């Protein structure tokens, strides 16, 4: 979950797209882009989330944002390949 708050922006308001979440001065993701939600899930798993445990769990997405955004950026960089190719 990404709750609105100081220094944060969430989807739905111009000039941001419907899937944009981010920090005013920092990491951001577009939740509609391939890999963004997967990166959030991977970070949550690495931090102990266990989806096989029954029940509803609300996770603060802001606590995962920076690591997930870094993972998406790294994946994009590796997809781009070596410079000049």
Q: Is 29 in contact with 21 (CB distance < 8 Å)?
A: yes
Average pLDDT over residues 10-36: 85
How much is the pLDDT for 13?
63
Of the two residues 14 and 44, the one the predictor is more confident about is 44
**In angstroms, rounded to a whole number, what is the distance separating the alpha carbons of residues 49 and 57?**
9
Residue 30, strand partner residues: 20
pLDDT digits (tens, 9 = 90+) for 30-85: 999 889 999 999 999 999 999 999 999 899 999 999 999 999 999 988 887 666 44
């Amino acid at each position: 979950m990404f709750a609105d708050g100081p220094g944060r922006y969430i989807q739905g308001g111009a000039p941001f797209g419907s899937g944009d979440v981010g920090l005013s001065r920092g990491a951001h993701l577009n939740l509609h882009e391939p890999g963004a939600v997967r990166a959030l899930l991977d970070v949550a798993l690495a931090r102990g989330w266990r989806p096989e445990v029954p029940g509803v769990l609300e996770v603060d997405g802001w606590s995962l944002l920076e690591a997930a955004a870094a993972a998406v950026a790294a994946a994009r960089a590796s997809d781009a390949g070596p410079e000049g190719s």
